[in-house]
Structure 1
């Protein structure tokens, strides 16, 4: 406590925001793995399990858009606390007796969890803009990268946590423990998080939810394509392929994906060092274009290797690792650019609109992943992924070449 008292108010608030985000992300990753493993044990197919998360992604589209407007009116601290409270409610919904734990009920709980996740993420990313001095863009890039990278590393850790808790405590015990732990975090956040953080001086009208910034709109379109390109093969196609075609068991598949997400998060945290060494200075529109073109090559090469039958397991694993590194750099740069482009007064509006596009990309990728894989296989998913990244690169050509 003495150490925290010696820190500046801005750093203390950054640590609180980051701590809230970490706690939420850990339970979010664990909950996803708990649901996957529990329903897999009940005999559900991978495609049926993926559909349980459909509302999770769908509600994220609306939540980011409306959440940005609410953040400008109510303050980011309240939005973050609402997100934490909703996650506690979502977890509590899964504590009903097994006979009541039906697919519609779980989908409803996942929908609420999706709303909570996007409220929490939008408020955390927006708050960083306000806690870093305007004249320190380099520090902003590092703080955004640290927040984003640590979130994904903890999401991967959450996958492991969910599996361990399921083995030790069972489904109900694991969910109950997470609900209690997150409730404690929520109470501490209510007491310690700065009041009125991010509340706009000029209250935006509801129709102003849609960004009027050309840079934000362009970056949002590129983000939609980027995350659609990831999820079109990562969400459903890849786990099913690893299980059915390569003969991996459930723990191998889940463990590999968890490690991938953790490594992806680590690279996101290191992205400022990587991009500054390669391009020098802070990233701008030209850097977004360059790294998108590099990324577009990877799924195309993986698809070619699978088509030619060149050691499918090795080609996929090596390709996925390279894809994760370059995708993490792209994602981290995008996260910095949107915070940099956003207006400080009502920052949540711009960030909320951008993450609405992010959620639309995830939703598009999730739907395409199940349908395309079922119709045409993993190679087709990879080709579509490459095409979406090419589209992101072309859209990014319209981004400003110098970050303001």
Structure 2
């Protein structure tokens, strides 16, 4: 039977989930490639690590603002519309970067990155919220299915983002900055056309029209988890966004494709582990609070150990340590992503998810700025120490989560 016919025979919710996931995948691929293109291209032009970090300032800042209002917009307008608007804005952002090199001023690139930040978080908020709307309900394994669907979406997205990092480095090497941007723009136009035609019009739209003040979550669980998420992602980006690629390029003489391959491998592996997180966390018994705190503390020791190793003399320890960090971080991230969808209200899920990812974006913003500044002033070791401290804070904050008795082997869908 042809693939098209098989897809038509799938339940409507599954077909919509596949469309949302494919949309998210395509966007993520271009987003990862664009980040690597900007970091390497502008460092090549003579920008310092702090100046490169500043190019992403609007990207992250506007991501915070977008998540603040994006959930409200998704609840009022429908997640299909917010997702398609995100794609359209990314197309505009890519088009802005096609101007001649002499016009690629700092302000112009920051403006393009601002649009890209809005686009990315509209797309992500829509995709993550859509999962709760589409997941089959009514079975004894509803929470397990929810965890698996979230893990699959999140893990596959990060694997594609890693491929995007590698793609960015390769495209910059072989067809240059403008050629790479043009290629990604054409691809996204095709994806947007399909999404406009196939995605359901009322996906995630609430029966009542929520007021704007409702963007602030009143759930203690959502607020605590959001604060922990902020610190968790700041701990990653404080070394990952600017410090590591510039360090490998400057201190160890890695080429663009090698830097891109390293970051791609890290994120692809990270995404792969996320898809398996339900199988890993089901092996541990305890409350959601205990599991969250325990995994955070396990993560905190890794950058601290790396900071004590002779990474300037032997890059092997740095690469090996960061790969291990990626494994444990992936489990933390996937578990957090499941908890927010679980804790979020069913009617108006995008409101809680949007608030949570606002905190996520704020963590990336803080981590990005610290990555450029700390590396320029103190070096990579300082970035690793700050990363360890931020994970500890995330674990302490997680102590405020509800002390439920639901065990992960039940919620992960495997049973005992």
- Could you say which TM-score interval applies, normalised by the shorter chain? over 0.9
CA distance in 2, matches of 1:121, 1:316: 30
Find the aligned partners of 1:128 and 1:11 in 2 and give their Cα distance: 10
Structure 1 residue 242 displacement after superposition = 2.3
1:318 Cα offset (Å): 1.6
- Note the C-alpha offset of 1:257: 1.3
Q: Which residue of 1 aligns with 2:295?
A: 291
Tell me the alpha carbon deviations over residues 250-288 of structure 1, each in whole angstroms, 9 at most, x when there is no partner: 3322221121111111111111111112x159x722211
Cα deviation, residue 246, structure 1: 3.2
Aligned to 1:26: 29
- Which position in structure 1 is the counterpart of 2:134? 131
Match of 2:93 in 1: 90
Distance 2:37 2:393 in 1: 35
- Could you tell me how far apart the structure 1 residues matched to 2:182 and 2:263 are? 25
- d(CA) in 2 for partners of 1:38, 1:354: 32
Tell me if structure 1 keeps the 8 A contact 2:71–2:215.
yes
**Pair 1:384 & 2:386 matched:** yes
The aligned counterpart of 1:324 is: 326
Q: Using the alignment, how far apart are the partners of 1:376 and 1:88 within structure 2?
A: 37
For normalisation by structure 2, the TM-score amounts to 0.92
Q: Which moved more, 1:330-339 or 1:162-171?
A: 162-171
| SS of residue matched to 2:400 | coil
- Residues of 1 paired with 2:403 and 2:313: CA distance? 41
2:152 corresponds, among 146, 154, 157, to: 146
* Residue 15 of structure 1, CA deviation: 0.1
Measured in 2, the distance between the counterparts of 1:144 and 1:175 equals 30
Give distance in 2, aligned partners of 1:356 and 1:310. 36
76-85 vs 32-41, greater mean Cα deviation:
32-41
Give the drift of 1:310.
9.2
Stretches of structure 1 lacking an aligned partner (at least 5 in a row): none
Q: CA deviation at 1:108?
A: 0.7
Q: For residues 104 and 149 of structure 1, do their structure 2 counterparts lie closer, same or farther at Cα, with a shift above 3 Å needed?
A: same
CA RMSD of aligned residues (A): 1.8
What is the match of residue 103 of structure 1? 106
Aligned to 2:282: 276
Residue correspondence of structure 1 range 166-185 to structure 2 within 5 A: 166-185=172-191
After TM superposition, give the deviation of residue 54 of structure 1 in Å.
1.3
8 Å contact from structure 2 (residues 49, 373) kept in 1: no
Q: Given the alignment, which residue of 157, 161, 170 partners 1:164?
A: 170
Match of 1:227 among 229, 233, 237: 233
SS in 2 for 1:397: helix
Question: Match for 2:250 among 244, 254, 271?
Answer: 244
Moved more, 177-186 or 230-239: 230-239
Tell me the distance in 2 between the aligned counterparts of 1:340 and 1:66: 21
Pick from 105, 112, 116 the counterpart of residue 113 of structure 1: 116
Between the aligned partners of 2:322 and 2:41, the Cα distance in structure 1 is: 27
Taking the aligned partners of 1:376 and 1:167, their CA distance within structure 2 comes to 30
Give distance in 2, aligned partners of 1:310 and 1:369: 18
Shift of 1:302: 1.0
Cα distance in 2 for partners of 1:207, 1:275 equals: 36
Larger deviation: 382-391 or 54-63? 382-391
Q: 2:317 — aligned with what?
A: 315
Unaligned runs of 5+ in 2: 412-416
Partner of 1:40: 43
Residue correspondence of structure 1 range 359-398 to structure 2 within 5 A: 359-398=361-400
CA distance in 1, matches of 2:42, 2:374: 23
Relative distance call for 1:162 and 1:250 in structure 2 (3 A) is closer
Task: From the superposition, tell whether residues 36 and 233 of structure 1 become closer, same or farther in structure 2 (CA, over 3 Å).
Answer: closer
Tell me how far 1:311 sits from its aligned partner: 5.6
Judge conservation of contact 2:53–2:369 (CA < 8 Å) in 1.
no
1: distance between equivalents of 2:43 and 2:390? 31
**In structure 1, what is the equivalent of residue 352 of structure 2?**
350
Q: Structure 1 stretch 161-170 or stretch 189-198: which is displaced more?
A: 161-170
Instruction: State the 1:86 CA deviation.
Output: 0.6
Separation in 2, partners of 1:34, 1:364 = 21
- Tell me the residue number matched to 2:414: none
Shift of 1:104: 1.3
Shift of 1:168: 4.2
Bigger mean CA deviation after superposition, 312-321 or 335-344? 312-321
Instruction: State how far apart, in whole Å, the 2-side matches of 1:384 and 1:32 are.
Output: 23
